Structure 1
Amino acid sequence: MEKNMSDILELYREQGVSEALLKDIAAFREKYPVEAAVSERVMRPEIRFYGKEIFEMAATALLQGENILLSGTKATGKNVLAENLAWAFGRPVYNISFNINTDSASLIGTDTFRNNEVCLRRGPVYDCAVYGGFGIFDEINMAKNDAVSVLHAALDYRRMIDVPGYERIVLHDAARFIGTMNYGYAGTKELNEALVSRFMVIDMPPMKEETLLDILTDIFPDAKREGLLQLAGFFMDLQLKASHNEISTKPLDLRGLIGAIRTIRAGLSPAAALRMGMVNKSFDVFERDMIEDILETRIPEGWESSEVFEGVRKI
């Protein structure tokens, strides 16, 4: 764990993050060791977050005991940042994705029958509070009223949650909550003022091409830079079109781009891989034709996987 701590802090030291801040994060990790029962929840993120100013804002707020809300459009790295913060602070992660079925019982827990008696089957917010985890509330603006009541209690400055019929939960000193929200998704709603007031809010900026290239190079160090430049350029073209409302954000999918590059490394042609990973996520025929035009401009149809990776056999 100590080696991993040095590794992650070194990554941010390379980005120029404040040395004093990194020392405070290291002290936090030393002060709050992770219990063995939840050590497997301390997970190294697949994607490294790039963004010195954003990381410093988020980390400083967390060190001061605040909860943070990451807002912004799709593919701005909200979940990537949340996972990187949990890893940097060395905390177990509890991911809670909100949908129409998420209620207070799924967050705190529900009654169950065990050893001939009724007891509480604990939910992720309960365990996060007890073990000092970082709870990531994904798509928090989809939370319905029953779930919001739990959020109010979990995020309150008193740091206590009353569970009807059971004991009161006192939040571990290291417990923090990070909310994420996209603008304009179907089923989302405006967050009420009382809930927003419990967060420090960070508006995530759009992805920059150099940032995307750094991410892709981290994940695919064996790839040719020229090939990655074209793939990143395709993503940036889609981001520009989406920002001007010329296309939807459905094909603007970082996970889809990474998945496409994996299939390219396995021998699939770049055009076919990008169609699976990004283009075909738009189900509107007119929009898909527009995206195909962008794809053909960026990625010549004759391109093979060898344009991105050396020594890859063609499928």
Structure 2
Amino acid sequence: MQLSENIRHLIESSPKGDPDQQGRIGSGGYTAEDDTVFQDVMIGLSLQKNILLKGPTGSGKTKLAESVSYTFKQPMYSINCSVDLDAEAMLGFKTIEQMDGQTAITFVEGPVIQAMKKGHILYIDEINMAKPETLPILNGVLDYRRTITNPFTNEVIKAADGFKVVAAINEGYIGTVPLNEALKNRFIVVDVPYIKGETLKSVLIEQSSLKDEVIIDQFVQLSADLFTQVQNGQVSEEAASIRALLDTCDLSIYMPPKRAIQRGIIDKLEDDREKSAVKNIAETIFE
């Protein structure tokens, strides 16, 4: 991903957190036709803004977050939201340990606390899958205060320099709820579009094990046709997921492409009409 000199300077001058703390740094690799998507995310984070990535499933939101971690050279701590998400999953939990022959209650820090204390990156995936009453605990973390009072220990934690927040959202999916305005206003929103054409081809070559360019070109055409069907409301965004397409490419090394599409894409769908639509497209491309 190409970055201008002034953006690189902004990134390099941004605080990086505690270099002595070990954590997982993302692998990078996000690719998009529009370079401004990645650039705008990096600018916003360098200016200490929270970033909300909005886009369809499989459009590369998590890969973008990984690339943020890679570019900043900062570890990323993740929260995977669901209806079961609670304060313990975000902040941590108390446990009983044996220390020097004595029983002691200790607190195991969760991803929010770790990222704040170390000045690293917090990634909140599918934030609109969480119950609305769960997320207000993060309000102070996400605004200018950058603080939280841990309800389990009463410790007041202020984020260290370098702390950054990236969240991702899939709108309109079953189980999701609209973000309330107070929460959404704490973010800069960046739309993450589908990857298409030559950009998609380069992603499939780089990130899948499939190297046959003829078959890769056919998968690129499959993706384009599925995207058209998504726009027309004929199939769900899940059918056009780039993540599913990468899985399908890997499978096609060891089985015929149409069978790989069946396993990697079609069988994930619930609606019989969607399954038939994808199957028909696949049969026109892979004879």
Tell me, yes or no, whether TM beats 0.5.
Answer: yes
Q: Is the 8 A contact 1:107 1:147 kept in 2?
A: no
Which residue is equivalent to 2:30?
48
Which residue is equivalent to 2:129?
142
Which residue is equivalent to 2:82?
99
Q: Is the 8 A contact 2:126 2:168 kept in 1?
A: yes
Which residue is equivalent to 2:95?
112
Aligned counterpart in structure 2 of residue 38 of structure 1, from 15, 19, 22 = 22
Which residue is equivalent to 1:256?
244
Which residue is equivalent to 1:130?
117
Which residue is equivalent to 1:23?
9
Structure 1 residues without counterparts, runs of 5 or longer: 1-11, 301-315
Aligned counterpart in structure 1 of residue 285 of structure 2, from 287, 291, 298 = 298
Residue-by-residue CA offset, 1:131-164 (whole Å, 9 max, x unaligned): 1221111110112234212221221211111113
Closer, same or farther: CA 220–179 of 1 in aligned 2, 3 Å: closer
Q: Is the 8 A contact 2:225 2:281 kept in 1?
A: yes
Where in structure 2 are the equivalents of 1:72-83 lying within 5 Å?
Answer: 72-83=55-66
Where in structure 2 are the equivalents of 1:138-287 lying within 5 Å?
Answer: 138-164=125-151, 165-220=153-208, 223-265=211-253, 267-287=254-274
SS in 1 for 2:237: coil
1:34 shift after superposition: 5.0
TM-score in terms of structure 2 length: 0.91
TM-score in terms of structure 1 length: 0.83
1:221 shift after superposition: 8.0
Q: Distance in 2 between matches of 1:72 and 1:271?
A: 27
Q: Is the 8 A contact 1:128 1:134 kept in 2?
A: yes
SS in 2 for 1:120: strand
Closer, same or farther: CA 222–247 of 1 in aligned 2, 3 Å: closer
Which residue is equivalent to 1:3?
none
1:219 shift after superposition: 2.4
Residue 8 of structure 2 aligns with an amino acid whose one-letter code is L
Aligned counterpart in structure 1 of residue 276 of structure 2, from 289, 292, 301 = 289
SS in 1 for 2:169: strand
Larger relative contact order (C-alpha < 8 A, sep ≥ 6)?
2
Aligned-residue RMSD, C-alpha = 1.9
Residue 98 of structure 1 aligns with an amino acid whose one-letter code is C
Structure 2 residues without counterparts, runs of 5 or longer: none
Closer, same or farther: CA 105–222 of 1 in aligned 2, 3 Å: closer
SS in 1 for 2:40: helix
Residue 20 of structure 1 aligns with an amino acid whose one-letter code is N
Q: Distance in 1 between matches of 2:71 and 2:85?
A: 29
Q: Distance in 2 between matches of 1:194 and 1:235?
A: 37
Where in structure 2 are the equivalents of 1:304-315 lying within 5 Å?
Answer: none
SS in 1 for 2:189: strand
Residue 22 of structure 2 aligns with an amino acid whose one-letter code is V
Q: Is the 8 A contact 2:92 2:110 kept in 1?
A: yes
